Chains A and B, each alone.
Chain A
Amino acid sequence: MHNVVIVGGGPAGLSAALAAAAAGAPVLLIDSNPRLGGQYWRMPSDDVGQQGEQHFDLETGLILINAVKARKEIEVLSGAQIWSATHKDGVNTLRVIQNGAEKIINTKNLILCTGAYDRTLPFPGWDTPGVMTPGGVQSLLKGHGVLAGKKVVVAGSGPFLLPVAAGVVKAGGEVVELLEANNSARWLLSPFVMLENVGKLKEAFYYVKTISQVKVRARFASAVIAAHKNSEGNLESVDVATIRGNFKIKKVRNVKCDVAAVGWGFTADTSLAGALGCKQIVAKDGGVVVSADGNQQSSIPGVFVAGEITGIGGAELSMAEGVIAGINAAKFVGCKVEVLKAHRKRRAKRQRFADALIKSYPIKDGWISWLNDQTVICRCEEVSVGNLKYAINELGATDSRTAKLLTRCGMGLCQGRVCGRSVVDLVASELKISPTDIDRFSAANRPIILPIPLGVLAAGE
């Protein structure tokens, strides 16, 4: 049995692994990607260069990844997906698929750093080929050196639109519009946080510089509210609206493009923590996250959590949390080590920045007014807004779980990762109630974490 098992090889998981190993604990690091780095430092396939061009802070990533590889206390399982996990009598059982075979790992001491994925909002035409998430565009760029299209509209809300736009520019694409739904002045809500996180400003400045070199200027209070396809079924143009503070439409114009990268921040991937039974809470932005105490410990003793799954806060907060989780996990298995005041201070500072982010980039439910009855909500099962309304108004669904059972919304390939959160908001809006925490939890949890071939399942003990 390994002493400390860590799931996730992003900023949080790498930091946790190094901290635990430095404290003397043997570590097993499991990650589903073929290469370490997570979302932020998504490494290109070996034959693609120019990664540095895409990234503000690749150095830190390379340093962490190399340090992890160099430490003999750390064993890395890459390309390994945990499809199921259960907790019983203090022992966590992880069922891992690697190279088509299943491995069972039992551990009392676990750090979960499973990160987050792009949050999407549905709009008419969002299922058109060419409409992507910023994360999707970026992972094509970072992972494969591929540019998704020539004329790109980047839209949505949050600071992550900037690096994506910069990446497109660096790769030789044209960013025809960069649209932020919120008002630029919102950052003034948190002036002190800005000052104490100058590093973040520098980062933003780096991206703004890249973008402005090719004369792209961000437009605020603007959003992509519809997409149109050409005769071949691919994206031809988008409708761009200026919107009010509540996201209701003011004025619409049409913009030609072949790719629209539209994203609305992130949703924590809590499925693994949820399968183990870690307590979850609803964050201020309505997303479900895993509850953690000051030591990054979840509600299950010995199970620590760090990074985006405890709340969306960016790579640096993830690293700060990862270090604290790693130290405490090492302490849990008997290593003589303490979290330093400096660690806590760093985390607190990053946390204030994360809180400011959420305050600056709220998603207001005016987006629901962009939809019509034909708008697809669940792309996997092809469920429309009209189908959902029928389930509510005719079939009497009074919560999102029932609406889901009656429409198959969220039951397809992605298991509601894409639409689950929006469905909860939509159903509540149609019923004129606020979503309950139970609605939110049930949309965020899935006992089968990732699909597993029946043959592999059958072959297991």
Chain B
Amino acid sequence: MEQTQSFWQFVAQQQDKLWSQTWAHIGLTMISLILAILIAVPVGILITRKQKLSGVVLGFAGVLQTIPSIALLGVMIPFLGIGPKPAILALFLYALLPVIRNTYTGIMEVNPAVIDAAKGMGMNKWQVLTRVELPLAFPVLMAGIRTATVINVGVATLAAYIASGGLGEFIFGGIALNNSNMILAGAIPAALLAIILDFLLSLVQKINLKSIRVTYLILPFIFISLSSFYLLPTQIGGRMLGGFTPEFMGREDGYLGLKKIYHLGIETVVISDAVMYKAAFDHELDVISGYSTDGRLKAYGLVILKDDRHIFPPYFAAPIVRQDVLDNHQELEGVLNQLSGVINDSTMTSLNYKVDQLKQSPEKVAMDFMVAHQLYKPAKGATKGTIRIGSKIFGEQYILAQMYKILILGNTNLAVETKTGLGGTKICFDALTNNQIDFYPEYTGTGFLVLLKPDKKTIEQLNGNTDGVYQYVSNEFNRQYKIKWLRPIGFNNTYALMMRKEQAQSLHIESITDLTNHLNQK
């Protein structure tokens, strides 16, 4: 579906977005950096005076830096919410170590004879610091600032995960959409930014300072107040705020469709799905894009808005099996179909909830379910061969794989080997076609849009047509790959818009159309 569009066309088309992302990126980097310098330089100086503290302080700053960036961003959300604030704090923490360490090393490396001479000539402590120690430590200190800058430009891309903007929006959107132009439109400016900032700072580094004047310290404050303007838009906020994943933002069957078909006019931020649900729960966001069977739906008290105009394609799950496997084991198809129609959306949501939120093992959750629905039978004993079940790398797929394992063991004489955690769609499907696994659960929408990639006309024709899509993938998979789609399990794990239950109820919003009407009201 990716139109053959050149990189430059993409850039030209997305110019405005690119500029705003670049500015946001510079803003995030520079504000956090300057804050870090304002704190880290005095701390660095302090630990040259109180050597005993140096180990503790450097150790602490070092530990901060080993925290994975995503985790650090995640930890901030409960305190600071989403948006630039937690991102700046995280970047600030990352920048501390290089600046503190280099301030410390720089000052410690100043020739003691020179400091001695300074004192001996009658300079007071402040004069020794500002005229001798800091100017002489300056190149080393600047090296630390350069390191911090380059780190921050890189880490700031991750800020896109928590709705802070920046070039990460393109990068992660591009990765999610498999759109290399989009990835490059984010990655190239980010790299250039790192190179340019580093170069400018290298020029500063070469300046021979005779003394550090207090007036220099005022400049950063001016800079911060100027650059903080970029923060304002998200801080004013509208009536309702939507938080969508980078992938969702770029998809026709996502945000683009919402705008086109529903004329939804909502203020949006880009955010990672790892923190999106929690942010909605915490009232940071009002509307989010999620998956309809996600366990967090239940955990955070969210409801799905009805897609009354059918922009989200159906993603019904069903096992897809290589035809030769079915031919060799005639009994298999009937056994696997025992699960068909058994699990609906809310059942799947609560099963996922048990695995993702309550941290129960997929084996236990599957077993409990099968026992409760009289689908469990003791294993018959394997004599006839082995079936290899694959699954993608998330909870729902693990659960389904376990359920099929129980069915096969209880109803056939086949042994089962599970190959779970096969990364994404592509990896799973390749494993299937290359005879490394025999079947795995797939979703109709994924088979349709990702694996078959039909032309635009077919997509529009079948849009929202559940049976039509199922028929289409069944036929095409059989024809192209000799792979059979068994009957759907029942639930539809599709994109969905979600809101907090109380808010949706109090505003009487049940469908996306209701939401649009509500937003257009005033």
Do A and B actually bind? no
